Amino acid sequence: MGSTPPADNLVTENPDHVHIMPPDDVHVICPTDYFSGPGKKVLLLLNQEIKLPVAAVQQVWDASQLRICADGGANQLYEYSLKHGLDWLPDFVIGDLDSLRPEVSIFYKSKGVKVKQQASQYYSDLDKAITLSNLALLDPTINLDDYDDYDGVSKHEESVTDTIQDKVSVFMMGSIGGRFDHTVSTISKLIKLHHTRPNFQFIVRNSEYNEYILFIPKGRNFVTLLQEKEYHRGEKLVKGKLPLVGLLPLACPVRLSTSGLKWDVTNWESSIEGKVSANNLLVGDNGFLVDTTGPIFVNIEI
Amino acid sequence: MGSTPPADNLVTENPDHVHIMPPDDVHVICPTDYFSGPGKKVLLLLNQEIKLPVAAVQQVWDASQLRICADGGANQLYEYSLKHGLDWLPDFVIGDLDSLRPEVSIFYKSKGVKVKQQASQYYSDLDKAITLSNLALLDPTINLDDYDDYDGVSKHEESVTDTIQDKVSVFMMGSIGGRFDHTVSTISKLIKLHHTRPNFQFIVRNSEYNEYILFIPKGRNFVTLLQEKEYHRGEKLVKGKLPLVGLLPLACPVRLSTSGLKWDVTNWESSIEGKVSANNLLVGDNGFLVDTTGPIFVNIEI
């Protein structure tokens, strides 16, 4: 790649407002579709303190058809509910349950929440929660007592031949920003899930900072926080601070081309061992286009 | 690599105590050397809230010969000092200074702290702070007024032919766990710094969770939290919970062999798109050995 002419590897600085409309054939990634777009909606809570305001969590809670705590994620929901006087109950608590506190387990069981141990260490708690999401969407009357406490739920899924035809959006809280191996495991898992569960889309919410972390597949993608009906027709909107955006080549080295960022790139080599466009800004009025030769992650400020 | 016989790709479960001594020729990585080991010690504070207890930060502060705030890192030190009644003053504040709050700048300047703008966006604030570390260790009387406010400090370093012969340990706080592109930028930078500043060793402290995040170069490494004089001579020590360890192949796919972990691996393929050993545990009484075909990161619970 060292022989690429410099003109192929451009960075262009844009003004603070650029009109961008998504082409018809582009893959649209819109995390706010979770709140009113089509498809199934699943909230996964992992074991990290929930530090967001109630209104923000409530919006996600209300939009979800299924709410699952992965192991100690139940502790976090319990603490958050206590602190804010909420009576929210998840549909399921699942995992090896080595982190679930006894009083939390007793409390949720007493309220009728299904708390299911899956002791196997072959699968992570996140794996187990995603498997259960799929099964519970396929069969809302699923009875987890039918499956053993070791890896019965995962084994059952292997025997199921039905698949969900709808798009499934999974909103993950508590999976980025705490223990560093948890963060890296989440990233690694999202790369693999793109292949193993192609109809699932994952929205990761930083539990502390106002940003989404999104998996962007190879190809042409349009990343936006607006739903289609909200697209602007070229007018300049009064806006505050430009939202921060990072283009993060965590899976493999890539070449990127973008439109709608303050520093747009064209056929730009990016890798974790080389150049990374962090600290970029969104200037596209409706979002930005990113064409990538391999999967990347994007963080975008809310 | 798919043709490798399975026997080469082993995971072995160990008991909770294994006696491990580092071989003579191994590269030792010991973050607690910062507190009393040889070499120069530099504390870099970045722009993330400091959530550690005063005793933990004090230990780092006292061990440091040079303390540098990168841009908004000064805001964090200021807030932390106010909250805990500390009169700590950094040696320098450097960066593009777009995050430094005016009252913080005025306060530190009034106390004689050198606040130096370097406006260039070609270098990150972390780059600028590391460049200044090198220059201020080479010349403790350096006068930053001699260099322009755009990129004078970096340009000056390019003209310097002296190099520090000592090992330099840089303790970084506030660089992992906040905004996700900051975390990824830090990781990317550490991979590159291994080549560009081979005598610098970086210790990253998670600012919220009790762990170090360490860069592990290609080859045979011994990772420990004990200084050499503290190595145990085989006796079983009374210990509490086993410290968590993650082996994180963020730079490139690798093959790993370890000794001293609960789940030791032998010639084990690991990559972010494949298998990652997160959630492992330290069982070696003095630390653990890791032999890797490429750079990785390790997180280790304190």
The model's pLDDT over A53-81, given as tens digits with 9 standing for 90+, comes to 999 999 999 999 999 999 999 999 999 99
Domain with CATH 3.40.50.10240 in chain A: 40-165
Domain with CATH 2.60.120.320 in chain B: 1-33+210-302
How close B102 gets to chain A, by Cα (Å)?
Answer: 19
Whether B10 has a pLDDT exceeding 60, the answer reads yes
Of A184, A211, A244, the CB nearest to B248: A184
Residues on chain A touching B273 (C-beta within 8 angstroms): 188, 191-192, 251-252
Whole-number Å distance between alpha carbons of B79 and A58: 31
Selected from 3.40.50.10240, 3.40.50.1100, 3.40.50.300, 3.40.50.620, the CATH number assigned to the domain covering B40-165 reads: 3.40.50.10240
* Contact call for B272 and A211, based on CB within 8 A: no
Q: Which A residues 218-257 touch B at CB under 8 Å?
A: 244-246, 248, 250-252
How close A251 gets to chain B, by Cα (Å)?
Answer: 6
- B70 membership: H or E segment, kind and range: strand B66-70
Of A176, A178, A188, the CB nearest to B276: A188
Mean pLDDT of A277-287: 93
Complex ipTM, two decimals? 0.92
Task: Tell me if residue B24 falls in helix, strand or coil.
Answer: coil
Domain with CATH 2.60.120.320 in chain A: 1-33+208-302
The rounded radius of gyration (Å) of the Cα atoms in chain A is 20
Contact A234, A19 (CB under 8 A): yes
* Residue A123, pLDDT score: 87
* Residue A138, pLDDT score: 95
Distances (CA, A) of B27 to A223, B221, B272: 44, 5, 25
- Report the residue of chain A nearest B125, measured CA to CA: A279
Of A182, A183, A279, the CB nearest to B181: A279
* Residue A239, pLDDT score: 66
Kindly state the percentage of chain B with pLDDT values over 70: 95
Whether A2 has a pLDDT exceeding 60, the answer reads no
Whether B3 has a pLDDT exceeding 70, the answer reads no
Whether A237 has a pLDDT exceeding 70, the answer reads no
Whether B55 has a pLDDT exceeding 70, the answer reads yes
Q: Which A residues 161-190 touch B at CB under 8 Å?
A: 176-185, 187-188
Whether A139 has a pLDDT exceeding 50, the answer reads yes
Whole-number Å distance between alpha carbons of B172 and B169: 10
Say which amino acid occupies B264.
D
* Residue A3, pLDDT score: 39
Distances (CA, A) of A165 to A132, A137, A159, A276, B118: 16, 11, 18, 36, 54
Neighbours of A272 (CB within 10 A): 23
* Contact call for B182 and A250, based on CB within 8 A: no
* Residue B2, pLDDT score: 38
How close B24 gets to chain A, by Cα (Å)?
Answer: 29
pLDDT digits (tens, 9 = 90+) for B127-145: 999 999 999 999 999 999 9
Domain spanning B1-33+210-302: which superfamily?
A: Thiamin pyrophosphokinase, thiamin-binding domain (2.60.120.320)
Whole-number Å distance between alpha carbons of B112 and B90: 10
> Using alpha carbons only, what angle is made at residue B196 by residues B194 and B200, rounded to the nearest 5 degrees?
55
What angle, rounded to 10 degrees, do the helices at A180-196 and A125-138 form? 40
DSSP class of B176? S
Q: Give the residue from B74, B30, B35 showing the smallest Cα distance to B58.
A: B35
* Contact call for B181 and A244, based on CB within 8 A: yes
Strand pairing report for A263-266 and A10-13: antiparallel
Strand pairing report for B244-248 and B296-301: antiparallel
Whether A229 has a pLDDT exceeding 90, the answer reads no
Average pLDDT score, chain A: 92
Mean pLDDT of B54-71: 97
| CATH class of segment(s) A1-33+208-302 | mainly beta
* Residue B239, pLDDT score: 66
Contact A201, A222 (CB under 8 A): no
Distances (CA, A) of B83 to B50, B53, B80: 11, 11, 5
Question: Is B211 part of the contact surface with chain A (CB cutoff 8 Å)?
Answer: yes
